[in-house]
Amino acid sequence: MLHLVIFIPFLFALIIPLLRTKLSNIHLGWFVLAVPVLLFTYFISFLEKMIQGEKIHSTLNWIPSLDINFVFVIDGLSMLFSLLITGIGSLVVLYSIFYLNKKENLGHFYFYLLLFMGAMLGVVLSDNIFVLYMFWEFTSISSFLLIGFWFHREKSRYGALKSMLITVFGGLALFASFLLMSITTGSTSIREIILNSEAIINSNYFVLILILFLLGAFTKSAQFPFHTWLPDAMEAPTPVSAYLHSATMVKAGIYLVARFFLVFQGEQLFAIIVSVFGIVTLAWGSFMAVRQTDLKGILAFSTISQLGMIMAMLGFGAGYENKVAIVAAVFHIFNHATFKGSLFMVAGIIDHETGTRDIRRLGGLYTFMPITATLAFFGTFSMAGFPLPVFNGFLSKEMFFKAAILDNVLDISILIPILAVIGSIFTFVYSMILFFKPFTGKENMLDRQPHEAPIGLLVSPAILVSFIIIIGLLPNIISEPILAPAVSAINGEIPLINIHFWHGFTNIPIWMSFTVVVIGTLLFRYRDKWTPFYNVFPGRWSAANVYDYLVNNTFTFAKSVTSFFMTGSIRNYLSIILGFLIGTLAVTIYITDGFAVSYDDLAPITWPVAFTGITMVFASIATIFMKNRIAAILVLGVVGYGLSILFVFFKAPDLALTQLIIETVTVALFLLCFYHLPDLTKTKESLSRKTLNIVISLSAGFIVTIIAIASHSFKKFDAISEYFIETSVSLGGGHNIVNVILVDMRGLDTLFEITVLGIAALAIISMIKLRKKEEVDS
């Protein structure tokens, strides 16, 4: 049953084209809406079992021989994410029904969205690491498709490519990490890996496994410095931004860290890396968010910073005696999904009703859009962590402060709370900008008269905002069914969660919150005074610029490398080929100590043989200095005829005859062809080039000579020729052993050699007879 549930989105995606053509007058989203709603109710039905601490297993064989199977397990953590995916998925589909025009390519949109939904469910429910990886890449691909949904826009394509490159880079690192994990533990199941975590921690690859694993998690969850793809992913339609880039996909990395928390728990390195990167991302993301002028830009950087905050809490939790951190992380995962989802939808509504998302052009919208403004009010103040009991963001932020104070992973731990406060101050500032800038102040120049959004657009953010308020007021209603099972799934302990709004003045976190609010308000009030600081701040080293630099320079570098050696000059290629030949042979001979000279079994040198040999040497040297082609061919012929004389001396009459005739034919053919070529011209070559040629040719000749001598000296077996000599008459019925070998014993070689000759003849015909007339003329 669980399998069917995970594959429902994929199966439904397949019938979308059918629905689109058959029922074109109803918005496609209404049909799609059924899928997440159904799944959501299905997952809700497990809540009871989760409270009792049960797990639901389900297995379907895929590649049993490799131990790769669809093993799905629902526990507290999977449950939390499944509910977020399907719940926010339902709201996003509902929102998109009103957001997207029917003229858009809805079939594509919902196809990609369902693909993403199924993939995301697969990621959070898979127990098998390779299946998890498969779904992980599915989310990257579907996210790529969704970001590039308006593919006719340059910026969409740029953003899609960027997110693809970065997340797939991380995905491959993750895959490598998974491979190492399964090698060291001998298992592909996450639960078994957790049981065998000792094997990973004690293995030599531990640091490599950890770093590759975190690369995967950090790229997906947009941690510093890989956060740069997320702001560019804002070119996607707003429902996609709300769904993928705030609530679900960007939390896949968080999920991964939480899922493998038990493996790395207690490892100092893990705790330090995760908390430092998290806290830096928090501070940097919130700092950069203030600079943005685009509503979705602010939200993108805010998402980065909030993800950093969650990641940091997971890092704190890995230190000892910091139990509150994990609870805070889980709580904030939930809260962030509610307020960020609603804020993205609000941004979409503003865009939809006014035609712009630029905060410099927006203003005074409160009078026109009071409902939207109210929704935005709750979203932004919850995000800022404003200390009022109706904002759930405040509760989790305060738990975050508490966790930051308790943190003991670093020696300089005092920096952690300070950075946390600084990050939160900027979070406060951009949240205020996000609310006050578009909704208050004077009306700015807009192309059209803004008015309240249709009710359908408001339903989804309203539901999310109601969650903000309910959990803000009564945080403990989710603590038992959702938070506690999730926390116990992460660190294996069942916590007692009791979230209070008010801790009294003796608590440090409350003072940190007050500091944030006071300084944040001041900074917001006088932002005109200090925001010019951003202009001074050099943008050169921003992650986006580094990315562009890397991508562009990879192209130029590859291009220059290619054009360096792919010159098109055959002479160069030949130099390279010969160079490698000489190099590999020389190294091989040197390493294996392969050179030896043996004087055994050498034929005596007679005067005629020596004379012929010397003549051939002189002829071949003379060929180099010939200034005329014809003369060069004729002198080369001397070598050929010399060879046939040598065959005579060494008693190979068949070879001598063949060599004689073939040499004649080739010289004749050369003469026929070279008749057309221009005279040899002395090419002026630089001295170094000439020297290089001489060196290459001399060393090639030298190395081949060395090998010939060495191969003579290493005769380890008797030759097979004795057999041929004995059986030539009895088996082949001929006295000419060469001919018997050619036609009888190894007739197959001859068969293909004459085939080669036939093909060569046909090739010559086609080259000469069938070439185009124009080529002849030119």
Quick note: the x/- pattern for other proteins over 11-50, rule CB under 8 A, is: ----------------------------------------
Options 134, 675, 685, 714; binder of other proteins; rule CB under 8 A: 675
Least separation in angstroms between residue 743's CB and other proteins is 4
Cis peptide before 608 (omega within 30 of 0): no
What's the token pair of residue 218? Answer: 């950090």
CB nearer to other proteins: give 715 or 746.
746
Options 561, 665, 694, 695; binder of other proteins; rule CB under 8 A: 665
Least separation in angstroms between residue 767's CB and other proteins is 9
Cis peptide before 225 (omega within 30 of 0): yes
Least separation in angstroms between residue 732's CB and other proteins is 7
Contact 621, 615 (CB under 8 A): no
Contact 104, 282 (CB under 8 A): no
Least separation in angstroms between residue 757's CB and other proteins is 4
Options 661, 694, 695, 708; binder of other proteins; rule CB under 8 A: 661
Give CA 561 to chain center in angstroms.
23
- Select from 259, 411, 243 the least CA-distant residue to 329: 259
DSSP state of 475: G
What's the token pair of residue 452? Answer: 């309240």
Quick note: the x/- pattern for other proteins over 732-761, rule CB under 8 A, is: xxxxx-xxx-xxx--xx-xx--xx-xx-xx
CB nearer to other proteins: give 522 or 759.
759
614 binds other proteins (CB under 8 A): no
Q: Counting Cβ atoms within 10 Å, is residue 701 exposed (0-12), middle (13-18) or buried (19+)?
A: exposed
DSSP state of 140: H
Residue range at the interface with other proteins (CB under 8 A); choices 140-148, 361-369, 481-489, 764-772:
764-772
CB nearer to other proteins: give 48 or 753.
753
CB nearer to other proteins: give 408 or 739.
739
CB nearer to other proteins: give 256 or 645.
645
CB nearer to other proteins: give 211 or 660.
660
Least separation in angstroms between residue 191's CB and other proteins is 59
196 binds other proteins (CB under 8 A): no
Alpha carbons 676 and 679: distance in angstroms, whole number = 9
Count, residues in the chain: 778
Residue owning tokens 């999920």: 255
Contact 112, 145 (CB under 8 A): yes
Least separation in angstroms between residue 700's CB and other proteins is 30
- Neighbouring residues of 218: CB distance < 8 A, sequence distance ≥ 6: 170, 226, 253, 277, 311
Least separation in angstroms between residue 619's CB and other proteins is 24
Least separation in angstroms between residue 746's CB and other proteins is 9
Restricted to residues 366-385, the positions that interact with other proteins (CB under 8 A) are: none
CB nearer to other proteins: give 218 or 641.
641
CB nearer to other proteins: give 675 or 717.
675
Residue 333: helix, strand or coil by DSSP?
A: helix
Quick note: the x/- pattern for other proteins over 687-726, rule CB under 8 A, is: ----------------------------------------
Least separation in angstroms between residue 714's CB and other proteins is 32
What's the token pair of residue 728? Answer: 């030539």
CB nearer to other proteins: give 152 or 769.
769
Options 103, 448, 529, 769; binder of other proteins; rule CB under 8 A: 769
CB nearer to other proteins: give 304 or 656.
656
Alpha carbons 139 and 119: distance in angstroms, whole number = 6
Residue range at the interface with other proteins (CB under 8 A); choices 132-140, 351-359, 656-664, 696-704:
656-664
CB nearer to other proteins: give 657 or 695.
657
CB nearer to other proteins: give 668 or 698.
668
Q: Is 364 left (phi over 0), alpha (psi -120 to 50) or beta?
A: left
Least separation in angstroms between residue 666's CB and other proteins is 10
CB nearer to other proteins: give 500 or 771.
771
Q: Is 266 left (phi over 0), alpha (psi -120 to 50) or beta?
A: left
- DSSP lists the bridge partners of residue 57 as 73
- Select from 245, 202, 208, 250 the least CA-distant residue to 348: 245
Options 59, 466, 575, 658; binder of other proteins; rule CB under 8 A: 658
Q: 3-state secondary structure string, 161-187?
A: HHHHHHHHHHHHHHHHHHHHHHHHHCC
Please name the amino acid found at residue 594. G
Contact 632, 623 (CB under 8 A): yes
- Neighbouring residues of 776: CB distance < 8 A, sequence distance ≥ 6: none
Least separation in angstroms between residue 184's CB and other proteins is 52
Least separation in angstroms between residue 5's CB and other proteins is 60
- DSSP lists the bridge partners of residue 59 as 71
672 binds other proteins (CB under 8 A): yes
Alpha carbons 253 and 34: distance in angstroms, whole number = 28
- How would you classify the pairing of strands 68-74 and 56-63? antiparallel
What's the token pair of residue 632? Answer: 């060069």
Least separation in angstroms between residue 646's CB and other proteins is 16
CB nearer to other proteins: give 93 or 740.
740
> How far are the Cα atoms of 72, 578, 615, 625, 763 from residue 622, in angstroms, in the given order?
79, 23, 10, 5, 33
Size of the residue set binding other proteins (CB under 8 A): 39
CB nearer to other proteins: give 568 or 733.
733
Alpha carbons 345 and 326: distance in angstroms, whole number = 28
Alpha carbons 314 and 318: distance in angstroms, whole number = 6
Least separation in angstroms between residue 599's CB and other proteins is 32
Alpha carbons 729 and 725: distance in angstroms, whole number = 8
Give 180's Cβ-side CA count (13 Å radius).
20
Residue 358: helix, strand or coil by DSSP?
A: strand
Residue range at the interface with other proteins (CB under 8 A); choices 92-100, 339-347, 662-670, 682-690:
662-670
Least separation in angstroms between residue 662's CB and other proteins is 7
CB nearer to other proteins: give 561 or 669.
669
Is the dihedral angle over the CA atoms 562, 567, 573, 579 positive or is it negative? negative
What's the token pair of residue 228? Answer: 């740069």
Residue range at the interface with other proteins (CB under 8 A); choices 41-49, 135-143, 233-241, 661-669:
661-669
Element (H, E) at 133: helix 129-147
What's the token pair of residue 404? Answer: 């930051």
CB nearer to other proteins: give 493 or 749.
749
CB nearer to other proteins: give 34 or 761.
761
Options 11, 669, 694, 698; binder of other proteins; rule CB under 8 A: 669
Least separation in angstroms between residue 630's CB and other proteins is 16
Options 657, 694, 704, 708; binder of other proteins; rule CB under 8 A: 657
Give me the residues that bind other proteins (CB under 8 A), please: 653-654, 657-658, 661-662, 665, 668-669, 672-673, 675, 732-736, 738-740, 742-744, 747-748, 750-751, 754-755, 757-758, 760-762, 764-765, 768-769, 776
